[in-house]
Amino acid sequence: MSDGLVHRVRDSRAEPEGALVLLHGRGADEHDLFPLLDHLDPERRLLGVCPRGPLTLPPGGAHWYVVRRVGFPDPATFFPAFERLSGWLDAFLGDRGIEPSRTVIGGFSQGAVMSYSLSLAGSRPPPAAILAFSGFMPSVEEFELDLTGRSQIPVAIGHGIYDPVISVEFARDARARLEEAGFKIVYQESPMDHTIDPGFLARARTLLESALF
């Protein structure tokens, strides 16, 4: 544990050339996306880590915030989770001597929401890239995403066309907003529901590699 967040680490084969942080979705835990570390970084050039969300809510599993309305995280739970995750990540990278600019942040569903938040908040250092699977750019009162000056961050967005949990319209909105701000986007809609398209992982991996190597 570091700063109160349970996490699972996958070591690099040699001295890490950066870090890959994957954040799970609602009701999952640090084990859920762990296998994706090897899909996205098969040569193990990066230190991989998957933290667990700080909340335990019905029907079970870990959560990053309370869902009252999709697209609009509950402020009372979002802000503490954001601060806790930010502190944990800073401590984790600092302990290992890895710069934020050498770190790729990604996630699924709620984890994608937190990835956008960590990467695009004006108070945070920009990462090397963002991987957003089946999520959305959050709207939270008194929380602003600062896209100015961050267009150097490449973003991979993958979403299911038939997603009944988080509509594909959220992915389309994120793409439009980021492209308008000058971001380079790798975007794919897949004929599936609320899940990660294995076929999109290769495109996400290519984006990761171009950002870091």
The pLDDT-based confidence of 59 (bands split at 50, 70, 90) is confident
Q: CATH number of the domain at 7-212, out of 3.40.50.1820, 3.40.50.720, 3.20.20.140, 3.40.50.1700?
A: 3.40.50.1820
Residue extents of the structural domains in the chain = 7-212
Average confidence score pLDDT of the chain: 96
Q: Is the pLDDT of residue 1 over 50?
A: no
pTM of the predicted protein model? 0.96
pLDDT over threshold 90, residue 117: yes
Q: State the residue for tokens 């296998």.
A: 35
Mean pLDDT of 3-9: 86
Question: In whole angstroms, what is the distance from residue 11 CA to residue 26 CA?
Answer: 25
**pLDDT (tens digit, 9 = 90+) per residue, 152-200?**
999 999 999 999 999 999 999 999 999 999 999 999 999 999 999 999 9
First vs last Cα of the chain: how many Å apart?
30
Q: In 10 A of CB 137, how many CB atoms?
A: 21
For residue 127, the tally of other CB atoms under 10 A from its CB is 26
Contact between residue 51 and residue 23 where contact means Cβ atoms under 8 Å apart: yes
Q: What is the pLDDT of residues 61-101, one digit of tens each?
A: 999 999 999 999 999 999 999 999 999 999 999 999 999 99
